[in-house]
Amino acid sequence: MPCKALIETGKDCDLLIHEATLQSDMVADAAKKRHSTVKQAIEVGTQMQAKFQMLTHFSQRYKRIPLVEHKEFHKKFGLAYDFMKVKINDGEVLNDMIEPLTEIFKEDIEYSRKKEADTKKKSKHISKRLGNLSEVLKAV
């Protein structure tokens, strides 16, 4: 997350390009990796009062489109991909593309969500097993 000085320096900018590496519910992972979630990136743009925001640098865990909880947020952002060219006045069109892209890549999004759920389930299982092992070792 940027420091307050950067947010103040960027106040009222026309365009903020911000990385949004991970989905919004992965705050702890984002902090560990020194990256931002989609929601954090948008909050920075809101604090800066940016007229428009381009989100980029999505994790490779998302095959084609990041998991964007679009309806929770304002309509002042779009998604940017490598080598993409846009005009600064195309912001509204970029935002309008999120819903159709989400529908087009619905299977990829479902796959990403399932993979994430499986990973969380495995992590809980491993934690439980380690906890059990810890108890056994304490008893010895």
What's the pLDDT tens digit per position in 74-127? 678 888 877 888 887 877 788 777 788 778 777 877 877 787 777 778 877 777
CA angle at 100 for the pair 46 and 60, rounded to the nearest 5°: 70
What pLDDT shows up at residue 133? Answer: 65
Radius of gyration of the chain (CA): 19
Cα torsion through 85, 88, 91, 93, rounded to 10: -60
Structural domain range at position 91: 4-139
Q: How far is Cα 14 from Cα 19, in angstroms, rounded to an integer?
A: 17
Provide the 10 A C-beta neighbour count for residue 58.
Answer: 21
Q: How far is Cα 78 from Cα 103, in angstroms, rounded to an integer?
A: 16
CA angle at 19 for the pair 6 and 4, rounded to the nearest 5°: 20
% the chain with pLDDT above 70: 83
| Count of domains observed in the chain | 1
Of the pLDDT bands very low, low, confident and very high (cuts 50, 70, 90), residue 13 is very high
Which three-class secondary structure state does DSSP give residue 16?
strand
Contacts of 94 (CB under 8 A, 6+ apart): 54, 77, 78, 79, 86
Q: 52-56 and 77-79 as β-strands: parallel, antiparallel, unpaired?
A: parallel
What six digits make up the tokens of 57? 């640098």
